[in-house]
Amino acid sequence: MRKLLLATNNAGKVREYRLLLKGSPFEIVTPAEQGLALEVDETADTYEQNASLKAVAFAEAGGMLALADDSGLEVDALGGAPGPRAARFAGEGADDRQRVALLLSKVEGVPWEKRTARFVCVIALAAPGERPCLFRGECEGYISLEPHGRGGFGYDPVFYLPVFCRTMAELSMEEKNRVSHRAAAAREMLRALSAGAVG
């Protein structure tokens, strides 16, 4: 079975991708499992560029097909911020709780109907020496008034999904993987793989 390297050290992403790619024609491996200690700075201004930087670097370092993603949260009341800089929104070294607290402070007083937001994920799939293929997924919701739920990671506790009447962090992994931005991008990638368009 061909190996697919997940170009991330984020344990939450690894868990999600192992489920999302279950049944795919790949053995899913992580950098740690392959003895790779690689950090790629996400210096670009777009999801596509950041995902591509990581996928290409890991594909070359690992000598195998690599999957990287870049994701972010776009809040309409903040002009689309934090966007691709969502992980760095509260500065270097900040944790998820600090990022969520900063976000809530910035939308304090914004009425519910204007708290619209979306999660965006772009997956880059790259083979050594080749240009990456890109796949995009989005998930629409609202920024809740306060955090709810213990699941997921990142901004999940304040991303409210009207279809479930719950935040992303209150969903089971199975529910999240039906509607999330990462799941949508992964479905696009798997469709392309099964059609022989990539890989």
| Per-residue model confidence as pLDDT tens digits over 21-47 | 988 888 999 999 999 988 887 778 899
**To the nearest whole percent, how much of the chain has pLDDT over 70?**
98
Tell me if 103 is assigned to some domain: yes
Q: Which of 136, 165, 135 is nearest to 149 (CA)?
A: 165
Residue 92 has pLDDT above 90, yes or no: no
Q: Give helix 181-194 / helix 11-20 axis angle, nearest 10°.
A: 50
Tell me if 199 is assigned to some domain: no
What span, in angstroms and rounded, lies between the C-alpha atoms of 59 and 57?
Answer: 6
Q: Radius of gyration of the chain from Cα atoms?
A: 17
Q: Is 70 part of the annotated catalytic residue set?
A: yes
Worst-scoring range by mean pLDDT, 8-12, 25-29, 115-119, 139-143? 8-12
Q: What's the CATH number where 18 sits?
A: 3.90.950.10
Domain residue limits at 96: 2-194
Determine which one of 41, 70, 76, 96 is catalytic: 70
Tell me if 130 is assigned to some domain: yes
Contact 194, 174 (CB under 8 A): no
Number of C-alpha atoms within 13 angstroms, CB side, residue 51?
A: 26
Q: What is the pLDDT of residues 105-132, one digit of tens each?
A: 999 999 999 999 999 999 999 999 999 9
In angstroms, the first-to-last Cα distance of the chain is 13
Total domain count for the chain?
Answer: 1
For residue 47, give both structure tokens. Answer: 């999801």
Residue 199 has pLDDT above 60, yes or no: no
3-state secondary structure the chain: CEEEEECCCCHHHHHHHHHHCCCCCEEEECCCCCCCCCCCCCCCCCHHHHHHHHHHHHHHHHCCCEEEEEEEEEEHHHCCCEECCHHHCCCCCCCHHHHHHHHHHHCCCCCHHHCEEEEEEEEEEECCCCCCEEEEEEEEEEECCCCCCCCCCCCHHHEEECCCCEEHHHCCHHHHHHHCHHHHHHHHHHHHHHCCCCC
pLDDT band of 71, cuts 50, 70, 90:
very high
Tell me if 133 is assigned to some domain: yes
- pTM assigned to the model: 0.90
Tell me if 98 is assigned to some domain: yes
Tell me if 53 is assigned to some domain: yes
For residue 1, give both structure tokens. Answer: 């079975």
Contact 179, 137 (CB under 8 A): no
